[in-house]
Amino acid sequence: MIPVIAIDGPTASGKGTVAQLVAQQLGFHYLDSGALYRLVGLASLQAGIEFSEPQRLQKLCRQMAIEFRDGCIFFGKEDVTEVIRSEEMGKRASSAGAVPEVREALIELQKSFLKPPGLVADGRDMGSVIFPQAQLKVFLTADAKIRAQRRYKQLIAKGISANIEVLTKDLVERDLRDTQRETAPLVQSEDAFLLDTTDQTIDEAVSQIIAWYQKV
């Protein structure tokens, strides 16, 4: 069986950065499932498809050509790594994730990333829905104010203007949508380790996950 480390958690918890580093250290493949939903947000915007049109959204999802390469995300031949990280795409991703037809269409796409020697997958339902057989499941979280501060610093570092109060409000609202949606809500699996990074560095979080993996 190909090993899987599933890392779930709320937005801006740092799970993407941590998951990539864990994958690098173990020599595993990496899946940023959140990027797929952000890509749906981008593609639907470009195609003029509303979230109230589930069948059109589902068809769009099945036509998307996506590749994770050298730390970048390619949509077709276009590098959309930075474009999909905008706050607007984050909101659209959350809305897309609430559409059952979108989640259904992306299930097989996400499972296709499972290849030898192993996979580190991060998202909202990697351990609870997509890879329930994962050898290690981690629910990575942090205080909402801390997450907002981290996102604020990231945006400012990229030269993008941001408002810490607006970011905090958006994070709280997104958490609410993700945890209360009917299809695959954000939830900690019963067999997942809880990792609260409020007072932890990225390196500490990475070391903890690798230590857990080596014991399973």
The CATH code for residues 4-215 is 3.40.50.300
pLDDT at 87: 79
Burial label, 196 (beta-carbon count in 10 A; 0-12, 13-18, 19+): middle
Q: Which residues, 6 or more positions from 197, have their beta carbon under 8 angstroms from its beta carbon?
A: 13, 14, 18, 140, 141, 142, 204, 205
Summarize pLDDT for 167-184 with one digit per residue, the tens: 999 899 888 888 888 777
pLDDT at 72: 87
Q: Alpha-carbon torsion 127, 39, 195, 180, what sign?
A: negative
User: Tokens representing 135?
Assistant: 């050898």
**pLDDT over 70, % of the chain:** 100
Mean local confidence (pLDDT), 16-35: 94
Task: Mark 16-31 as b/e (b = at least 16 C-beta within 10 Å).
Answer: bebbbbbbeebebbbb
Query: Distance (Å, rounded) from C-alpha 101 to C-alpha 107?
Result: 10
Query: Distance (Å, rounded) from C-alpha 170 to C-alpha 176?
Result: 10
**pTM, rounded to two decimals:** 0.86
Domain ranges of the chain: 4-215
Query: Distance (Å, rounded) from C-alpha 92 to C-alpha 98?
Result: 10
pLDDT at 158: 80
**18 neighbors 202 (Cβ within 8 angstroms):** yes
Summarize pLDDT for 87-130 with one digit per residue, the tens: 789 889 989 988 999 989 999 889 999 999 999 999 989 999 99
Q: Alpha-carbon torsion 20, 137, 112, 181, what sign?
A: negative
